[in-house]
Structures are given as C-alpha cells and as structure tokens.
Amino acid sequence: MTAKLIDGKALSASLKRKIQEEIKAKMAQNIQPPGLAVILVGEDPASMIYVRNKRIACEEVGIRSFYHGLPANTSEEELIKLIQNLNEDKNVHGILLQSPLPKHIDADKLFECIHPNKDVDGFHPYNLGRLAQRRPLLRPCTPYGVMMLLDHIKQQYKGSHAVVVGASNIVGRPMALELLIAGATVTICHRFTADLAPYVREADILVSAVGKAGLIKGEWIKPNATVIDVGQIRLPNGTLTGDVTFESAKEKAAWITPVPGGVGPMTVAVLLQNTLVAANNFKK
C-alpha cells in the first residue's frame, strides 16, 4: 500500500482563485480592496523569503500589501507605536507581524497589541479564546489550513483518534482545538511526553508540528492513518524535509502530506482568506 498525497498546492490555488474572484467582484462595485500590513524586524533570511512570498500572494489575488521593514535594533516602544497606527488605519484590514522577532522584543506582548479584528494570524488571545469556545472568528492560519486539507479528503473525525505532536501557541494548541470542534478525540504530545511512539501508533489522524527532521518514524504510523506533516526543516544540502520519515510512512498511511507542497501553501492561502474576512467584517 502506498499513501495518496494530499496536494496543498492545488487546494491553495483553488482557494486563492475564489478570493481573487470575490475581490474583483467587490472592486467592480467600487468597494475598497483588502489591505494587509506586513511588518518585518531585522533581516532574518528565512523571514525575508516568507514575507516576500506573502506579498507576492497578496498581489496575485488583489490584496494591497503595505510593507514595513524595520532594523533589528528597533525598540519595543517604536514597534508598538507602529502597530497602534496601523490599528487606526482604515486602509489596513490585517496586520502581520513576522516572527521570529529579535530577542529584546516580547513577541506575546506585541501580538496582543494588534487589534483582534486585524489579527489575521489568529494569535491574539481574543481570537484563540473564541476558538476554544467553539465560536471562531479569525483562526490561526496553519491549523485552519490543515482542517481544509482534511475536509478536502473527506476525513472522518467523529470516532477518530487524532494525535497532535507539538504544543506551540501557533500550531499545536489551536490545531487540537480545531480537531476537537470537528469531533475527534484528541491527544497532544509535547517535549515532556516520555515515549512518543505508542501515541503515534494509535493515531487515526496524526499532525506533527515540531520542526525536527525524522522525529516521527514510518514504522510508528498506524495502517490507513492520515498523516499531516507541518514541520519544515531545511537540510544542509538546501532541500526541505518534515518531521515524518516520508518514504517509510507513506507505505503505511492512507493519506499523507508532502514536504514541501503540503501544509505550507495552505498557510499562505488562509492568511489571504483571513485578510478578506477581516475586510468584510470591517465594512460591517
């Protein structure tokens, strides 16, 4: 048995076309297009690539991108003032603060400064709280993108055991909440989990979001499981790999996401969708 690939590129392209069509229709009615402010502090090479790709994606669908590139020594106070100004700017419907931030800046404090209605990353405690209460508004991009991938393959949630490996505020915790809302029985594994293998072996749905190459061994995968690999690790030779040992895992799984081309494209597409949702809510 060889697992079927879950094509994130194709699904994200379809979502972006829908977003583009909606924006075009609104502009034909003289409705202002959505605006996304992107803040990058410093010159981290990976972050610069991510920001460039997000800005290109905005242009593709008709979202206006407002770029703010700041030096690495920018103070917390300066950054807070910029965010406050963007909160008040009626041309800006979404604010994206690219992480990681320099060590002298409290990331949690800065994310909380972004107005919840413009929090297109879905990191603000208000939006995470709404998700926890099963009343989501702006949802964290990667977990919501994973749910779209699972819905696309008509994944059965109720009666299924979902195991999430990784408990970050960005992916792991909101991922568990998304799966709970869908009706799955959810287990979260993290760095203090004594023995990871037994949990993975029981997973009908496995989502790994750690960022450690080869963390999940193929022989651990439950036959016919769905495997979602959120990890993206760049190897010394320049290639990207995930948390899961792909070649051996695909021999046991029913469905599996490739790295690259699986979850990554969906994260960007959901960011665009969140920006459109924020703009629509702003007009209301």
What the block records as the tokens of 49 is 């690539």
Q: Catalytic: which of 16, 119, 121, 250?
A: 121
What would the DSSP string read from start to end of 157-226? -TT-EEEEE---TTTHHHHHHHHHHHT-EEEEE-TT-S-HHHHHHT-SEEEE-S--TT-B-GGGSPTT-E
Q: Catalytic: which of 16, 98, 232, 243?
A: 98
Catalytic residue flag (residue 98): yes
Q: Catalytic: which of 54, 118, 250, 252?
A: 54
What the block records as the tokens of 92 is 């800006």
Catalytic residue flag (residue 54): yes
What would the DSSP string read from start to end of the chain? --PEE--HHHHHHHHHHHHHHHHHHHHHTTPPPPEEEEEEES--HHHHHHHHHHHHHHHHHT-EEEEEEE-TT--HHHHHHHHHHHHH-TT--EEEE-SSPPTTS-HHHHHHHS-GGG-TT--SHHHHHHHHTT--SS--HHHHHHHHHHHHTT---TT-EEEEE---TTTHHHHHHHHHHHT-EEEEE-TT-S-HHHHHHT-SEEEE-S--TT-B-GGGSPTT-EEEE---EE-TTS-EE-SB-HHHHTTT-SEE--TTTSHHHHHHHHHHHHHHHHHHHHH-
- Active site (catalytic) residues: 54, 98, 121
